[in-house]
Structures are given as structure tokens and as C-alpha cells.
Amino acid sequence: MIATYTFSMLHWMKQHWFKIVLLLIFLLVLWKKEISFGIHFNTPARLEQGDATPTQVRQQPRKKFYTEDAKATKTQSNLTDKFQQLPIFGRKKTAPTWKNLDQQAVDSYLNRFVKVAQAESKKFGIPASIILASGLVCSQAGQASISQQENNHFRLLCSEDWQGETKWYDGKCLRQYDKAWTSYRDFSLFLTTGERADLLALHQQDYHGWAKAIERLNSYGEINLSHQIVSLIETFNLQQLDME
């Protein structure tokens, strides 16, 4: 019986040998693919561009393009940008300083008004260094629109007793003068009349004290006015004007 079954199998295989060969080839190919997949799945390998499958790409850890410090800086930068977009009311404006001005314009302004400042100092007892430095800082060395068009070199605001011309800037009423010299004289009167006459108790060589007092009186809103005035005086040695 076994011999009969064996003979039948051989006879069947002889008739279908081509199909059997194709089946064996298919199984061999499938077996090799399974081995290759197992190797790629279990062994970390470098993915070359264009060779990785979508599944393999998703399995790779995402690369960080910035450190945690950089991430924090980026977040802070975004917050700063949003803050800068807020209305002017409720935040400080960027402070322009005299150091950002053209040095030739600074030198020209100092040479132009040094005699005026000295004359006002002798007449009213205000340090010449304070008068000259205040005029340069507040007028941005004469480059500000309010000083060029309205000759207001100290950004003095309108008051109830002001009888002259006026001009509105940044929502504020400022005084208008026919000449720059008139602006200097009005500044001298502003610091030495009424309640502000107490400033004359300050020593004429105490430019630090005068600078702080002027900042307290600064109704226009010039930022870091005292620091800017002192910095300018010490950079150009304007305090020597107060010793003459």
C-alpha cells in the first residue's frame, strides 16, 4: 500500500513539477523578505535619503533644531514683539540718547550755543553746563522737529501764563519761539521763577543735583534725562564752563 501511495505521489509531482517549482521559488523569496525585514526592524541603521520607507522615518526620533536656552529666547522675543505692538499709552517709549546722534551735529551744537549758555548762567545763576547739555539732549542736537520748526530746544510745555505761540506734538501743547535764543532765555526763567526758584539754592558746580532737579520738572516725558545730561557733561568736560 505504501508503495502504491509513493508511486501516486511521484506520478502527481511529475505531472505538476512546474507548479511545484514556482511555489518553491515564491516561498524562498518570501522567506528572504521576512529575514530582511527582521534585520531592519531590530537593528538601528543609518537612513539614507530616498531609501527609507515612511514607516521607518516615523520610527526615527525627531531632531531638535534649537536648545532649551534658544527656545526660551525665542519665546521671550515673541513676547517682546507683542509688547512693542501695544499702544504708546501704558508703556515707555524707546529712549533716544545723544550718543546715537551724529557726532558732527553734536560738536556743531555745542559750539553754536556755548556762549549763549554762559551768558544765561551769569545772568540767572544756573550752571552753564546744565543749560547747554539740557538744550542738546532735549533738542537732539537741534535735529528734532520741535527745535527746527518751533525753536523749542527744551521741550517746554504750554502753561496758563504762556502768552506766545503754541504747537501740538505727540498730543502735548508745546511753546513756540521766533528764535532759538528766546528758547534759552525762557528756559532760564522757567528754572528760576515761582516755586522753582528754590533750585538756586543748589551750588552752581553741582551739575548732578541740577540734572536730577530738571528730570523731576520734566513734564514732557524725556526718558533718563538726568543720566543723559550728566553723561554729556562728563564726556565733553562741560563742567569746566561752571568754573569760569
Q: What's 232's domain CATH number? A: 1.10.530.10
Predicted pLDDT of residue 232: 94
Q: What is the chain's mean pLDDT, rounded?
A: 75
Domain total in the chain: 2
Say yes or no: 112 and 215 in one domain. yes
Q: If DSSP codes are grouped into helix, strand and coil, which group holds residue 166?
A: strand
Average pLDDT for 193-207: 90
Instruction: Give the cell for residue 187.
Output: 528756559
When computed from its CA atoms, the radius of gyration of the chain, rounded to whole angstroms, is 43
CB atoms within 10 A of CB 49: 5
The residue with greater pLDDT, 209 or 50, is 209
Q: Select from 59, 77, 108 the last residue of a domain.
A: 59
Predicted pLDDT of residue 26: 72
Residue 66 has pLDDT above 80, yes or no: no
Q: Is residue 181 part of a domain?
A: yes
Residue 236 has pLDDT above 90, yes or no: yes
For residue 135, give every residue at least 6 positions away whose Cβ sits within 8 Å of its Cβ, in sequence order, or none.
109, 113, 117, 153, 154, 183, 184, 187
Predicted pLDDT of residue 7: 57
Task: Let me know: does 136 contact 171? Beta carbons within 8 Å.
Answer: no
Q: Which of 105, 109, 127, 107 is nearest to 118 (CA)?
A: 127
Say yes or no: 155 and 214 in one domain. yes
Indicate the helix (H) or strand (E) that contains 173: strand 172-176
Assign residue 151 a region (left: φ > 0; alpha: ψ between -120 and 50; beta: otherwise): left
Say yes or no: 50 and 133 in one domain. no
Residue 171 has pLDDT above 70, yes or no: yes
Q: Is residue 68 part of a domain?
A: no
Q: Is residue 189 part of a domain?
A: yes
Average pLDDT for 139-152: 94
In the DSSP assignment, the letter for residue 47 is P
Predicted pLDDT of residue 18: 72
Angle, to 10 degrees, between the axis of helix 180-192 and the axis of helix 103-124?
A: 50
Bridge partners of residue 167, in order along the sequence: 174
Residue 64 has pLDDT above 80, yes or no: no
Please tell me the pTM assigned to this model: 0.60
Predicted pLDDT of residue 87: 34
Say yes or no: 216 and 108 in one domain. yes
Predicted pLDDT of residue 74: 41
Q: Is residue 69 part of a domain?
A: no
Q: Which domain holds residue 33?
A: 2-59
Residue 75 has pLDDT above 50, yes or no: no
Say yes or no: 115 and 236 in one domain. yes
Query: In degrees, to the nearest 5, what angle opens at C-alpha 132 toward C-alphas 130 and 134?
Result: 65
Q: Is residue 215 part of a domain?
A: yes
Over the stretch 7-45, which tens digit does the pLDDT of each residue have? Answer: 566 666 666 667 777 777 877 777 666 555 454 444 444
% residues pLDDT > 70 (the chain): 64
Amino acid symbol at 213: A
Report CA-CA distances (Å) from 134 to 34, 50, 213, 228: 85, 69, 12, 9
Three-state SS string over 56-95 comes to HHHHCCCCCCCCHHHHHHHHHHHHHHHHHCCCCCCCCCCC
Say yes or no: 20 and 129 in one domain. no
Over the stretch 102-141, which tens digit does the pLDDT of each residue have? Answer: 889 999 999 999 999 999 999 999 999 999 999 999 999 9
The shares of helix, strand and coil residues in the chain, as percent rounded to the nearest 5, are 65, 5, 30
Q: Is residue 76 part of a domain?
A: no
Report CA-CA distances (Å) from 53 to 43, 48, 57, 61, 117: 15, 10, 6, 15, 80
Match 506766545 to its residue by C-alpha cell: 164
Say yes or no: 52 and 146 in one domain. no
Q: Sorting pLDDT into bands at 50, 70 and 90, what band is 243?
A: confident
Say yes or no: 104 and 47 in one domain. no
